[in-house]
């Protein structure tokens, strides 16, 4: 599918974001007039790595971990502070050392540009950071937090969204022993929807363990764990009988033709995760997937996520917001987008035991916004 740049922007989040900010500038917002906010004053950018400890060992089809080293960014200009977060993922060749390096290399972009020119800053980041997408995400999240605070509005209000329209978030259950899986399901009693990690030769055992404890709706994520279309079809047929709503990334991302074959035969929606990072990936996926999972760490931040939402909607695809293991900084950023989408799986901060920030809360799966400007996060940097 070929789209002109003009048509793409009409369908993309750039137009959504631009229109919302235009309304704010022309009187619908509450830009802080008490002090002079130019977006061009002296800037301070700090970068820190923090170890986030997982409440349980986190296992998916690829690997296991007990902690994550996430990278946090603090941008201050004109007396306004914006926070961002990067959650490096080995699937994409990322680590906290390289991520920190890329963020430091990109500092000059912020020093040389007016922060209100956020679209130009995004373009410059795309040209400067060619790997470590999570580094772009951290900087973009911090930038949009700053923008929201400059206008004294939460991001969802800046975008003209109704938080009541946000879907409830699922709670993820990682691969584990039967007894631990049962324990995790019991601990997640407050959450109305579960997402179960599969993609191993123990998939049936895992789902049976879940179903022995609860009959609530479940979704499954194979994380590319099934290696043939025949295996995927056989497992999806069985999962359908277990009350599973949809499957994420059943086979490796590069198996696009096989996934298209599977979609024709599977009586269950198939959502792309590892197969999609940015808006440019989406058109070719429409034949093989029913929807996409947008993660800020893959997209490179909120601005690209908005473009992805516009593109997916134009193609009639379902949209899910997902996450890595993240603190309340990145989770809150994504939550502000939730009213735009069909499904949410924003529980990364609920899986850690030492969240250094607080922000958007979750009560019985429902997002609770605090109405503070920007991301609405507070904590110790």
pLDDT in tens, 193-220: 999 999 999 999 999 999 999 999 999 9
The verdict on residue 21 lying in a domain is no
Give residue 185's pLDDT band: very low, low, confident or very high (50, 70, 90): very high
Residues 59 and 166 in one domain: no
Catalytic: 295? yes
Residues 122 and 165 in one domain: no
The pTM of the full predicted model, rounded to 2 decimals, is 0.92
Residue 372 has pLDDT above 90, yes or no: yes
Residue 221 in marked binding region: yes
Of 235, 295, 298, 318, catalytic: 295
Question: Do the beta carbons of residue 60 and residue 198 sit within 8 Å?
Answer: no
Residues 279 and 355 in one domain: yes
pLDDT in tens, 81-128: 999 999 999 999 999 999 999 999 999 999 999 999 999 999 999 999
User: Which of 130, 152, 174 corresponds to the end of one domain?
Assistant: 152
Residues 126 and 175 in one domain: no
> Which pair of tokens denotes residue 285?
């996926």
Cα separation of the two ends of the chain = 44
Of 197, 229, 298, 318, catalytic: 197
User: Which of 116, 132, 152 corresponds to the end of one domain?
Assistant: 152
Residues 223 and 332 in one domain: yes
Residues 120 and 169 in one domain: no
pLDDT in tens, 220-279: 999 999 999 999 999 999 999 999 999 999 999 999 999 999 999 999 999 999 999 999
Residue with tokens 């593109």: 311
Give residue 10's pLDDT band: very low, low, confident or very high (50, 70, 90): very low
Q: Residue 132: give the domain boundaries.
A: 43-152
Helix orientation angle between 302-314 and 118-128, rounded to the nearest 10 degrees:
90
Among 239, 322, 240, residue whose Cα is nearest residue 276: 322
Report the chain's mean pLDDT, rounded to a whole number: 92
Residue 74 has pLDDT above 50, yes or no: yes
Residues 71 and 183 in one domain: no
How many domains does the chain contain in total? 2
Residue 248 in marked binding region: yes
The verdict on residue 294 lying in a domain is yes
Residue 378 in marked binding region: no
Residues 75 and 174 in one domain: no
Residues 101 and 201 in one domain: no
DSSP 154: B
By three-state DSSP, how is residue 5 classified?
helix
Residues 265 and 374 in one domain: yes
Q: What percent of the chain has pLDDT over 90?
A: 87
The verdict on residue 11 lying in a domain is no
By three-state DSSP, how is residue 374 classified?
strand
The verdict on residue 71 lying in a domain is yes
Residues 141 and 166 in one domain: no
Question: Do the beta carbons of residue 367 and residue 140 sit within 8 Å?
Answer: no
Residues 228 and 268 in one domain: yes
CATH of residue 62's domain is: 3.30.390.10
327, 72, 84, 320: CA torsion to nearest 10: -40
């Amino acid at each position: 599918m070929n789209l002109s740049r003009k048509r793409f922007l009409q369908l993309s989040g750039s137009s959504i974001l631009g229109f919302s900010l235009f309304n704010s500038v022309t009187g619908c917002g509450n830009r802080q007039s008490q002090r002079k906010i130019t977006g061009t004053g002296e800037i301070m950018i700090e970068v820190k790595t923090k170890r986030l400890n997982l409440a349980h060992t986190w296992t998916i089809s690829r690997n296991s971990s007990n902690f994550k080293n996430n990278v946090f960014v603090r941008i201050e200009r004109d007396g306004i502070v914006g926070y961002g977060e990067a959650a490096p993922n080995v699937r994409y060749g990322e680590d906290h050392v390289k991520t920190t390096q890329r963020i430091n290399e990109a500092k000059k972009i912020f020093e040389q540009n007016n922060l209100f020119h956020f679209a130009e800053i995004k373009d410059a980041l795309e040209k400067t950071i060619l790997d470590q997408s999570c580094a772009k995400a951290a900087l973009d999240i911090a930038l949009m937090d700053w923008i929201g605070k400059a206008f004294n509005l939460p991001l969802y209000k800046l975008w003209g969204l109704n938080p009541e329209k946000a879907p409830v978030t699922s709670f993820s259950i990682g691969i584990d022993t039967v007894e631990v899986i049962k324990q995790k399901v019991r601990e997640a009693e407050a959450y109305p929807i579960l997402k179960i990690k599969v993609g191993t030769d123990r998939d049936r055992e895992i789902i049976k363990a879940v179903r022995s404890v609860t009959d609530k709706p479940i979704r499954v994520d194979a994380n590319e764990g099934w290696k043939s279309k025949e295996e995927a079809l056989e497992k999806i047929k069985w999962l359908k009988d277990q009350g599973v709503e949809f499957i994420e990334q059943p086979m490796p991302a590069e198996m696009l033709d096989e996934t298209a074959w599977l979609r024709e035969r599977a009586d269950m929606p198939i959502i792309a995760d590892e197969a999609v990072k940015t808006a440019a990936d989406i058109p070719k996926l429409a034949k093989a997937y029913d929807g996409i999972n947008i993660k800020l760490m893959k997209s490179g931040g909120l601005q690209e996520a908005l473009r992805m939402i516009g593109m997916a909607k134009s193609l009639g695809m379902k949209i899910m917001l997902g996450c890595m293991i993240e603190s309340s900084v990145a989770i809150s950023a994504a939550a502000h987008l939730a009213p735009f989408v069909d499904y949410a799986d924003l529980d990364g901060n609920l899986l850690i035991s030492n969240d250094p920030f607080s922000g958007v809360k979750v009560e019985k799966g429902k997002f609770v916004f605090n109405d503070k400007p920007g991301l609405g996060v507070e904590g110790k940097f």
